[in-house]
Structures are given as C-alpha cells and as structure tokens.
Structure 1
C-alpha cells in the first residue's frame, strides 16, 4: 500500500510538471493538478520543519531524507519512526 501511495505522489508531481512543459495544456484539470502538487510541496515543507529530528533516523544522508520528505511527507518519515519504536521495544 505504501508503494501505491508513493507512486500516486510521483504521478501528481509528474502530471504537474508535464502540464507546465506541454504547450496547450491550459485546461482546468491541468491547473487543478498544479495546485494539488503545490499544496503537497507546501504541506511537506511544513512537515520537514516539524519532524526534522525524526528525519535523522534515516540511514542515508540527511539531505536525501529531507528531499524524500518533501516528495512523500508522512509516507517517508512515519516508517522510520515505527522502525525506531520496534527497535527500542525489543
């Protein structure tokens, strides 16, 4: 299920980028997808601020964890917290 939601995020960003690049795509649907993608990015940027300490749980570079949070939000950092919780309970 997590991969499906991540794929949906990527699809939204991809459609928004395509609507910006493709000529003649000034339809209402294209505009709506752009608004949704911008809203995702703003919400996920706020998430970065509020869960920055939790982003350090990622085993890779912190900058990559920030980028993944900007793209996927809670879909990136919540599994990190759950894994940390399971390790501390063991």
Structure 2
C-alpha cells in the first residue's frame, strides 16, 4: 500500500509539473493538480519542522531525508518512527 501511495504522490507532482511546462490553455484538471501539489509541499514542509527528530532516524544523509519528507510527508517518516519504536521495545 505504501509504494502505491508514494507513486500517487509522484504522479500528482509529475502531472502538475507537466501542466506548467506545456504551453496552451490549461484544463481545470491540470490547474487542480497544481493546487494539490502546492498544498502537498506546504503541508509536508510543516511536517519537516514537526517531525524533524523522526527524520534524523533515516539511515542516509539528513538532506535526503528532508527531501523525501517534502515529497512524501508522513509516508516517509512514519515507517522510520515505527521501526525505531519496534527496535527499542526488544
């Protein structure tokens, strides 16, 4: 389920970028995708601030974790937190 939701996020971003790049009249659907993509990024930026400690649990570089959180939000940092909580209970 998680990969499907991440793919949906990427599809929204891709569709919004494509609508910005293509010339001509944009449809209502394209404009809607742009608004949704902007809302995703703004909401995920707030998540970065509030979930920063969880983002530090990522095994790779911190800037990559922040980028993934900006793209996917809770889909990125919640599995990190769950893995961490399972590891400390044992």
User: What's the TM-score once normalised by structure 1's chain length?
Assistant: 0.98
Residue 28, structure 1, aligned to residue 28, structure 2:
yes
1:39-54 map, 5 Å: 39-54=39-54
Cα deviations across residues 38-73 of structure 1 (Å, max 9, x unaligned)?
Answer: 000000000001011110000000000000000000
Number of aligned residues: 90
- Distance in 1 (alpha carbons) for counterparts of 2:43 and 2:25: 26
- Distance in 1 (alpha carbons) for counterparts of 2:62 and 2:50: 15
Cα deviations across residues 18-48 of structure 1 (Å, max 9, x unaligned)?
Answer: 0000112411111000000000000000000
1:1-90 map, 5 Å: 1-90=1-90
- Distance in 2 (alpha carbons) for counterparts of 1:39 and 1:22: 21
Unaligned stretches of 5+ residues in structure 1: none
